Amino acid sequence: MKKIGLLLLLAATAMWAQSAADAAPSNPTTPPGTVFTTATFPIQRVQMPTYADVYCAGFINKQSLPDANYVEGGLQTPGTTKFVRGDVVYLKGSGYTLGAQYEIIRALRDINEYEMFPGQRKLLKATGQPYEEIGRVRVVDTRSKAAIALIEYSCDPINPGDTAIPFAEKSMVAFHPPLRFDRFMPTTTKVSGRIVMGKDFDSEVGTGQKVYFNVGSNQGVKVGDYFRAVRNYDEDLHDPVDSLSFKAAISEDTQKMQPSFDPGLWEKSNGPVIHVRDLPRRAVGEIVVIGTTPTTATGMVVFAMEDVHAGDGVELDDQQQTQQPQ
């Protein structure tokens, strides 16, 4: 019996090893000037967007959208001001037809008005108006001055004053197997931009969270494209908090020649001067595009080596585009 049990255990182990080998990506051909290591080419196992990710992501639009059609209340108005799936709401405006679906969106403003990176406010103003996607309704009665609609899907509670626009189906992103993530890949693409802001005005985001950047379909960006989030060490040098680490003591007391990072006139040590602009640029995460406008794109972080920041650069990942399954 012990022998049979051992044979079964060995067979199960062999099957597990085979399935693990099938799931793991093969080692890529290393680019010239590199040596393959798991630190520089980690396995990228991505989190793919769900229906809720795609339809609740929000977006930035270059121009403000028409807001003549909007939610003016609901069945329990004024006792209830927030409405969710299954509730009845009333739509003000014109052009409503029986059975038509409308997306409910909300123009946003940042009440904190705090810049996550220098120049963010100016960049966001140039990029467009941020919108939150709240939910979807279907018109069920048009006999009154206000159209009556049923909420079929809600991302967040719908409020009076939220805008109603015609609903449009969105493309879902196809799954792809794990790949190797080239952490220090030099710039290889002409399509690049910057993360203008994170969803809900977040400054630091991780896997599964949404970001908006300032390149769109006019630059050839489409749903399903992958972008790498990249960061130079200059960003830390110019950050009012992170820059303090460059001024802190970094040497061993016994180190004879002590280095300094981009020192000021009276800050140079007796050792080498290290310029952070000469340090390698690093990729911090992978973002898949889940929505576009002519000048902007909405992306979801599907893989992150560290926090992705508002203000990080984004570049179309040519490696990902060529390795996606057809």
DSSP string spanning 274-301? EPGGGSPPEEEEEEEEEEE-SS-EEEEE
User: What residues contact residue 59 under an 8 Å CB cut-off, 6+ apart?
Assistant: 130, 131, 133, 212, 291, 293, 296, 298
Residue in this structure with the two tokens 């996606």, named with its chain if needed: 324
Reported in sequence order, the residue ranges of the chain that DSSP labels E, i.e. its strands, are 43-44, 59-61, 70-74, 88-92, 101-107, 129-141, 147-154, 163-166, 179-180, 192-198, 204-205, 210-213, 226-231, 260-261, 273-274, 282-292, 297-304, 308-309, 313-316
What pLDDT shows up at residue 115? 87
pLDDT (mean) for 88-117: 94
CA distance 79 to 82: 10
Instruction: Using alpha carbons, select from 206, 221, 230, 197 the residue that is nearest to residue 303.
Output: 206
pLDDT above 50 (res 132): yes
Is the confidence at residue 148, as pLDDT, over 90?
yes
Is 88 in contact with 175 (CB distance < 8 Å)? no
Integer-rounded Cα radius of gyration of the chain: 25
pLDDT (tens digit, 9 = 90+) per residue, 190-229?
899 999 999 999 999 999 999 999 999 999 999 999 999 9
- Tokens standing for 106? 């909300």
CA dihedral 265, 268, 273, 274 (to 10 degrees): -80
Measuring CA to CA, which residue among 252, 45, 271, 231 is closest to residue 261?
Answer: 271
Which H or E element spans position 16? helix 2-23
The model's confidence at residue 270, banded by pLDDT at 50, 70 and 90, is: confident
Q: What tokens were used for 309?
A: 């920041």
Q: For 26-35, 43-52, 116-125, 186-195, which range has the lowest pLDDT when averaged over its residues?
A: 26-35
- Report the pLDDT value the prediction gives residue 322, as an integer from 0 to 100: 57
Distance of CA 124 to the CA centre of its chain: 16
274-314, pLDDT tens digit by residue?
A: 888 888 889 999 999 999 999 999 999 999 999 999 999 99
How crowded is residue 58: how many other Cβ atoms within 10 Å of its Cβ?
Answer: 20
Dist. CA 151–CA 84, nearest whole Å: 7
Rounded to whole angstroms, the Cα distance separating 141 from 150 reads 9
